Structure 1
Amino acid sequence: MRETDQNINTLVMIKSIYLSLSKAEQKVAEYVLANADETIYSSVTLLAEKAGVGETSVIRFCRKLGFKGFQEFKLSIAQDLVNPAEQVHGEIQESDSAETICQKITSYNINALNNTTSLLSVNALSKATEAFIKARKIYFFGIGSSGITAGDAKYRFMRLGFHADSATDAHIMAMNASLVTKEDVVMGISSSGSTKDLVEAIQIAKENGAHIIALTNHAKSPITLSADTVLLAAAKETPFQGGAFSSKIAQIHVLDLLSTLIAMRDHEKSFKAIEKTAKSVVGKLF
């Protein structure tokens, strides 16, 4: 059986690890993504020929996805195609009406949420839940748009009664990381998983014994190398799309799932904290 979580959509996982693959493996990935329905009927030799690589590259590709061999990989692809997760939305054109643009963006965002849900490992969510519940303090680190998400996370978990903090400045992150202990949790939030200042702060926190959780779009990226737990969001960005709302929606979705699971684990404590924090600001509203 597959060595990774069985609920993960294989086609989505291929997109997630694409940048970490060798050139030959990327050729296999490209062929499979473009011809998934043909792949399930191919032999390893035929697939290698179609992708223009050797058979060993196909086998290595399958193993990087967590499969023992090619047949197990094909079975998983076939299962994914029973209920396709992809939404057909197309590219936005200048000639599109406001209604069409709304439909396309809505479809794209729904697709990001569905793919994120299919990509998330239940085991990873459970592990993160346990780490948060046991934590003395929780830190959320992020740069740029992901820094805004870190602030949202701090607010949400503070309302649930956690001693939470967030940092978006490289120096503040590094100083916080230098002071953490094995009783703390640090979540690094990065769509690319390759933001240098964030990765360096995470490495410092890891050296000091904190439990590291990475929330990223890329299963194989610098931030995941130091992570004890990896939570994957499926939305992708090109260099021209930094801070895309679809990526933020996917990040918030993961945090919403995580915070809800945590709240349900100790609903009495969570309710009391929500009640206390709500009363603390009631005088601030008209």
Structure 2
Amino acid sequence: MADYILVRDSEIVYETSSEIVSKVKVGEGTLNRFCKKIGYSGFQELKLKMTKDILELESQKMSSDTFIDEIKNNYLSIVESTRKLIDGRQIELAIKLIREANQILMIGVGSSGNAAREFESSLLRIGIISKT
């Protein structure tokens, strides 16, 4: 009985007690005793609790999906705002100066320091001498 309920928890909420006892091949009394043994007054109370639990889990999942969508949309907005601030001519000039330089020195504090170290690593990988 317990195995059937655990494996088919989302189906049980749509089944009658008669359908379950027929599938598990036990009597109605066995189902009722099982429900009482696990703390419910009967099968209907067990079904109600399982339905509430399933709805709560689905609600939490939807909340998680909504949260993830919100984060994604925020990042897309930041990327789009940054793209609008970029002047293509300035980027081309920076690329030209980096290619022509003998050595690149970068200075940054805090998160700018992290970005400088990451850029240093990228430049070193392509053979440009750099130091933070």
Give 1:105's aligned residue. 71
Give 1:47's aligned residue. none
User: Scaled by the length of structure 2, what TM-score is found?
Assistant: 0.51
Percent of matched pairs sharing the same residue: 23
Larger RCO (CA under 8 A, 6+ residues apart): 1
Deviation at 1:119? 1.5
As a proportion of its length, which structure holds more helix?
Answer: 2
Gaps in structure 1 of 5+ consecutive residues: 1-95, 167-286
Question: Aligned runs of 1:1-286 on 2, under 5 Å?
Answer: 97-166=63-132
Alignment partners' CA distance in 2, 1:98 and 1:145: 29
Deviation at 1:127? 0.8
Alignment partners' CA distance in 2, 1:131 and 1:117: 21
SS of the aligned residue for 1:123 comes to helix
SS of the aligned residue for 2:106 comes to strand
Deviation at 1:111? 1.0
Alignment partners' CA distance in 1, 2:64 and 2:115: 28
Residues 18-62 of structure 1, C-alpha deviation per residue, up to 9 Å, x if partnerless? xxxxxxxxxxxxxxxxxxxxxxxxxxxxxxxxxxxxxxxxxxxxx
> Looking at CA atoms only, which structure, 1 or 2, has the larger radius of gyration?
2
User: Scaled by the length of structure 1, what TM-score is found?
Assistant: 0.24
Deviation at 1:99? 1.5
Equivalenced residue count is 71
Residues 141-161 of structure 1, C-alpha deviation per residue, up to 9 Å, x if partnerless? 111122111111000010011
Deviation at 1:137? 0.6
As a proportion of its length, which structure holds more strand?
Answer: 1
Alignment partners' CA distance in 2, 1:103 and 1:141: 35
Gaps in structure 2 of 5+ consecutive residues: 1-61
Once superposed, what is the RMSD of the aligned Cα atoms?
Answer: 1.4
The amino acid across from 2:104 in the alignment is I
Alignment partners' CA distance in 2, 1:153 and 1:116: 18
After superposing on structure 2, the runs of 4+ consecutive aligned residues of structure 1 that deviate more than 3 Å are none
